[in-house]
Amino acid sequence: MEALQAIFGRRSVRRFQAREIEPRKIETMLQAAMAAPSAMNEQPWEFVLIDRKDSFERIMQVHPYAGMLATAPLAILVCGNRQREKVPGNYWVLDCSCATQNLLLAAHALGLGAVWTGIFPEKDRMRALSEICDLPAEVLPLALVVVGYPDGPRPLPADRFQRERIHLNRW
């Protein structure tokens, strides 16, 4: 699929078929995530694949907007490893956000559906996900991407273009 087609066609998917994702597709999504740009090419990301139903249950108890895990075969926790940072500060957040967007676009291009569920900067969710996934202290969870084969028709593309948001040279 062409990049622009994936960008314009991607929408959040929150209902999934009871069908496993092929390992090759999971690998491709992770390759896409790790192809993202990052500050000074620091690539601070780490990914935790979660497919255990008991983990999904625990996450749904602490995350008010992750009910779609009930039908999902897989969730990918995108984390930033502070020991891999070259630029101190909050660049890991930007780097891992780029990786997360690549993951979402790759899922869509592969015929899957996905949704970004927010973890950072919600302290309670960060703490809970760190516990559930046994993250070391230097690894911070940013986003949980829930992914699977869409159940039912995909949401239609959304046109969000707003010409008045564009400014030439000065506001």
Contact status: 115 vs ligand FMN (CB under 6 A): yes
Pairing of strands 74-81, 139-148: antiparallel
Using Cβ positions, the residue closest to ligand FMN within the complex turns out to be 118
Output the six-digit token pair for 145: 């991407």
Closer to ligand FMN by CB, 38 or 101: give it. Answer: 101
Contact status: 11 vs ligand FMN (CB under 6 A): yes
Site size for ligand FMN, by CB under 6 A?
10
Q: Out of 111, 118, 136, 152, which residue is the one contacting ligand FMN (CB under 6 A)?
A: 118
Contact status: 116 vs ligand FMN (CB under 6 A): yes
For 24, residues 6+ apart whose C-beta sits below 8 A from its C-beta are none
Taking a C-beta distance cutoff of 8 angstroms, is the pair 96, 66 a contact?
no
| Minimum CB–partner distance for residue 118 and ligand FMN (Å) | 3
Output the six-digit token pair for 54: 């008991």
Q: Out of 1, 5, 12, 83, which residue is the one contacting ligand FMN (CB under 6 A)?
A: 12
Helix H or strand E encompassing 139: strand 139-148
What is the length of the chain?
A: 171
Side by side, which strands form the sheet with 113-118?
A: 45-50, 74-81, 139-148, 113-118
Residue 90 DSSP one-character state: S
Taking a C-beta distance cutoff of 8 angstroms, is the pair 156, 11 a contact?
yes
| Minimum CB–partner distance for residue 139 and ligand FMN (Å) | 19
| Minimum CB–partner distance for residue 23 and ligand FMN (Å) | 26
Q: Out of 1, 40, 49, 158, which residue is the one contacting ligand FMN (CB under 6 A)?
A: 158
CA-CA-CA-CA torsion for 40, 129, 11, 28, nearest 10 degrees?
60
Q: Out of 38, 81, 117, 130, which residue is the one contacting ligand FMN (CB under 6 A)?
A: 117
Contact status: 1 vs ligand FMN (CB under 6 A): no
Query: Which residues lie near ligand FMN (CB under 6 A)?
Result: 11-12, 14, 65, 115-118, 155, 158
